[in-house]
């Protein structure tokens, strides 16, 4: 299991370096949009949870 996980993380790191090498600004936009979407989701989730708790 450890070897498979290490191989998978190594391949992901190689893919990341390849994407940055080929298109740095596009890769930056990709990560910005990805983490922005995660932040929006967590913010919305937190608002809905707090609204639910307040209504109890």
How much is the pLDDT for 19? 87
Contact (CB, 8 A) for 33 and 40: no
How much is the pLDDT for 7? 87
How much is the pLDDT for 16? 87
Task: For the chain, give the longest Cα–Cα distance.
Answer: 52
How much is the pLDDT for 56? 87
Q: For the chain, which residues make up each domain, given as ranges?
A: 24-56
Chunked in runs of 10, what are the mean pLDDT values of the chain (56 residues)?
Answer: 85 90 90 94 96 92
Q: Rounded CA gap, 16 and 27, in Å? A: 9
Q: Rounded CA gap, 49 and 3, in Å? A: 39
Q: What angle do the packed helices 2-22 and 24-55 form, to 10 degrees?
A: 120
How much is the pLDDT for 44? 96
How much is the pLDDT for 43? 95
pTM given for the model: 0.62
């Amino acid at each position: 299991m450890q070897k498979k996980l290490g191989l998978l993380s190594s391949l992901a790191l190689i893919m990341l370096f390849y994407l940055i090498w080929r298109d740095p600004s596009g890769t930056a936009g990709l990560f910005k949009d990805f983490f922005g979407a995660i932040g929006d989701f967590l913010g919305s989730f937190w608002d809905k949870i707090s609204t639910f708790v307040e209504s109890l």
